[in-house]
Amino acid sequence: MNSKWPESSTPRESSRLPVEYTPHTTIAEQSTGDYYYGRTQTNSAVARSYLLLLSRQRWTLVLTFLLVLLPGLLWIFTRPRLYGSTAELLCTRSVATEARLLLDVDLVHEAFARLPEDVRWKGFGTRGTVLAKYPYTVTVPKDTDIVSVEVTAHDPFAAAAFANEIVMTDLEKHAMRVDTLVTQTSQPLDVEIAQCAKDLKTALAEVAQYKHQAGITDIQTQVTSNAQGLVNLQLQINDEEREVARQKSLRELLERQLKGIPSEIVNKVDNQNALVMTIDAEVERLQQQRASLLQEYQENTPEIRAVDEQLAAARRRRAEAITGHQDTVSKNRNPLYDNLNQSHVNAMIAEQDAIRRLTVTRTQLDTMRRNISNLPDTERQMAFLSSHVEELRAKLYDLAGQKRSLNMNTYTELPGVAPTMRAKPDLKPVSPRYKTSLLLLAVVAFTAAIGLAMLRAQFDDRLHSGDMLEELSGQRLLASLPHVRNGFRGLVTSADCPPTLLESFRILRANVMLALRDPMTRVITVTSAHAGEGKSTTVVNLAAMIATSGKRVLVIDCDLRHPSVHLYYGIENRVGLTSVLLEKEDIDKCIQQVHGENLHVLTAGPIPGNSPELLASPEMALLLNEMKERFDCVLLDSPPLLNLSDGVLLASLAQGAVLVVSFERTRQSHLYEATRVLNYSGVPIIGIVNNHSSEEPTSHWLTAIG
């Protein structure tokens, strides 16, 4: 038999050269009124690949999104509303300390207990005076002396009342702390004032008792004047003694400072630098002059000797200047010492004046006491008693003034707190914030859906597209056979065949014929990884389509364990392949002609017990060699490749292999193992057929006319 296609082929088919497939090559050719289609492969963009991945996981996306979204919506819209209110305090010092004090649990307990019972019930859901956790926060705005107290409650008026109560309680405690500190600071003065008041009371009692004993009904003006004079002189002496002590302390301080400061500043002027620098400049000038003269004169000429003499003289002057120079030393008064010395002198003068005034005042006091001692006994005693009373009164007045000054200084130095803004009810809830919560919920739900979809995609072992098939197997995709939803189970050559299925098998026929690298290839095995993936359906329909193009086709059912080809064609399986191999039946009697004169079928025959041995027998090889000489194309319905040795043995006898996969059954690991087995057997893989595909069968195929 001629190795080329039969004479019925068109001239174009007879002259066709083998077409080598590349991923970017479109295979399309017209033959006997049909169009051959090829698939154009392009590298998908990364974004498109991710979109396809998410599209395959669309139900996971939708369900995860809804499972996160619906409970989130229920939680958002069933949460109780919370209202916020803020009060502010102005702190003159130590803002952080005041913020820490506002966080005191006892303070908040006390403020909460002061709220009316109905306010506690409406705002915080309790009628008690204690909460396990108080809903308030204390913040300090950046670069301010403000402390903010924010309270959240179920009622806006309760939130404002609690915030204001916290501030008022803090102010009261602050006032108590200040009063306690002032009392502790002025306690020594209080003791002294109490003792002075007691002494004054005793002195007044002595005056009254003496007046009663002496029968004095009225104090004379002279006695009162003498007593007041004694008191005034004594107070003046006290003031002058303090002034003397102050001036003495200032003088001693200035004396200590003067001991560490020199009275004169010594300035040392170095006279050598200016003269030496002048001579060095002259020497350099003479050296440059000598160098320029050497370009015109010899070494011993008068001009050169004159310059050498000047250089020697200049160097001698420089040596003399260095040897005999003396520094100029000048001494100037230290202005700081003079200023301190003047202050010391003034302090000494002020101290002497204070001592002199004190001496004069003491002399006046002694004189007045002598004058009083010359008075009669009654008047003298009365004067002394009255002066003692006036002295105690003056001391008591002075101590009271000291206490007032001390308290004023204490209040000034302590940190102050003042309310700057009272809390007001805000009818807008702070929680839940519906816009923010819904947006955040949508982002979380979408992120969870995307994450779960990507996670499922990582563990998904299914096949989803033709691009994935080609990428995983490294083989070209011959055709995608659609999943027929109307229950069609017949051959594609029948009148009621769906157009999409018919077109898909035309594509498969064209690509199988054009993808053969060797025009001598006749025996093609059609196999799959596991049973039920559609290899037998593909074989019988592919054979029928090739037969319609005028080629003589033989289909051999080599699945000796589960033969099914005879069921598709509606023929008997009494005799077949096993009959030829085991019983030596005439092969021409076993081959049956179906659907016209070009399509022939060799069924499996009776099921044997040693199918691997039959397929690997020499008789099987001889049979195939004979059949490829008699027919244009021999299609073998092969057993599955995985878990059985039949498919591998049969593949080693074929000249090409077509691998059928099913999106519904085949997994990525199955595809990888099946491809590896075929490569190991040494049979060239023509391509892959995608069975039960959900893809549009012709969406990726191009048609070219002539």
Question: Are 199 and 392 spatial neighbours (Cβ–Cβ below 8 Å)?
Answer: yes
Question: Rounded CA gap, 557 and 575, in Å?
Answer: 12
**656 and 512 together in one domain:** yes
- Where a domain ends, among 326, 345, 373? 326
Is 53 within a domain?
A: no
**531 and 392 together in one domain:** no
**CATH (domain of 119):** 3.30.300
> Which DSSP state fits 6?
-
**Which own/partner pairs from 96-100 qualify as long-range (CB within 8 Å, at least 24 positions apart)?**
96/140, 97/415, 98/147, 98/415, 98/417, 99/138, 99/139, 99/140, 99/147
Residue 361 belongs to what H/E stretch?
helix 335-373
The string of pLDDT tens digits covering residues 528-571 is 988 888 889 899 999 999 898 888 999 999 999 899 999 988 89
Is 131 within a domain?
A: yes
Token pair listed for 686 = 């023509």
Token pair listed for 294 = 């050497």
Is 15 within a domain?
A: no
Say how many Å lie between the first and final Cα of the chain, rounded: 30
Please check the confidence at residue 256 and state whether its pLDDT lies above 60. yes
Token pair listed for 381 = 């005693």
3-state SS of the chain: helix, strand, coil percent to 5? 55, 15, 30
**64 and 181 together in one domain:** no
Residue type, 629: E
The pLDDT, as a whole number, for residue 520 is 63
**376 and 517 together in one domain:** no
Question: Are 365 and 230 spatial neighbours (Cβ–Cβ below 8 Å)?
Answer: yes
Please check the confidence at residue 699 and state whether its pLDDT lies above 90. no
Is 291 within a domain?
A: yes
- Where a domain ends, among 163, 185, 207? 185
Is 25 within a domain?
A: no
| Helix axes 434-459 and 46-56, enclosed angle (nearest 10) | 90
Label residue 519 by pLDDT band (50, 70, 90).
low
Is 37 within a domain?
A: no
> Which DSSP state fits 295?
T
Mean local confidence (pLDDT), 641-652: 88
Question: Are 400 and 193 spatial neighbours (Cβ–Cβ below 8 Å)?
Answer: yes
For residue 481, CA distances in Å to 3, 501, 663 come to 31, 6, 11
For residue 337, CA distances in Å to 259, 266, 347, 652 come to 10, 14, 15, 118
The pLDDT, as a whole number, for residue 259 is 81
**64 and 172 together in one domain:** no
DSSP H helices in 324-334: none
Please check the confidence at residue 40 and state whether its pLDDT lies above 70. no
Residue 659 belongs to what H/E stretch?
strand 656-662
**148 DSSP β-pair partners:** 88, 139
Domain count, the chain: 5
Question: Are 604 and 524 spatial neighbours (Cβ–Cβ below 8 Å)?
Answer: no
β-pairing verdict for 553-557 and 599-602: parallel
Is 520 within a domain?
A: yes
Label residue 343 by pLDDT band (50, 70, 90).
confident
**72 and 135 together in one domain:** no
Of 445, 463, 404, the residue nearest 694 (C-alpha): 463
Label residue 88 by pLDDT band (50, 70, 90).
very high
The pLDDT, as a whole number, for residue 234 is 78
Torsion of CA 626, 630, 634, 639, to 10 degrees: -30
Give me the chain's average pLDDT, please: 80
Please check the confidence at residue 697 and state whether its pLDDT lies above 60. no
Of 32, 22, 137, 154, the residue nearest 83 (C-alpha): 154
Q: How many CA atoms does the CB half-sphere of 106 hold within 13 Å?
A: 2
Mean local confidence (pLDDT), 426-453: 89
> Which DSSP state fits 652?
T
**139 DSSP β-pair partners:** 148
**84 and 169 together in one domain:** yes
Question: Rounded CA gap, 634 and 655, in Å?
Answer: 10
**485 and 453 together in one domain:** no
Question: Are 417 and 88 spatial neighbours (Cβ–Cβ below 8 Å)?
Answer: no
Mean local confidence (pLDDT), 57-81: 89
**CATH (domain of 568):** 3.40.50.300
**382 and 309 together in one domain:** no
The DSSP line for 571-620 is: ---SSSHHHHHHS---HHHH-EEETTTTEEEE---SPPS-HHHHHTSHHH
Sheet strand arrangement including 592-594:
477-482, 685-693, 656-662, 523-528, 633-637, 553-557, 599-602, 592-594
**500 and 564 together in one domain:** yes
Predicted TM-score (pTM) of this structure: 0.49
429 in the Ramachandran plot: left (φ > 0), alpha (ψ -120 to 50) or beta? Answer: beta
**73 and 152 together in one domain:** no
Question: Rounded CA gap, 338 and 261, in Å?
Answer: 10
3-state secondary structure (DSSP) of residue 60: helix
Which of 253-257, 327-331, 597-601 bottoms out in mean pLDDT, i.e. has the lowest? 327-331
- Where a domain ends, among 280, 304, 326? 326
Give the residue numbers spanning the domain of 367.
190-262+336-412
Who has greater pLDDT, 640 or 330? 640
The pLDDT, as a whole number, for residue 497 is 84
Q: What percent of the chain has pLDDT over 90?
A: 17
Is 544 within a domain?
A: yes
User: Taking every pair of C-alpha atoms in the chain, what is the biggest distance, in angstroms?
Assistant: 179
Question: Exposed (0-12), middle (13-18) or buried (19+): which is 668, by Cβ within 10 Å?
Answer: middle
**387 DSSP β-pair partners:** none
**510 and 637 together in one domain:** yes
DSSP H helices in 186-220: 187-214
The string of pLDDT tens digits covering residues 587-608 is 989 999 998 788 999 999 998 8
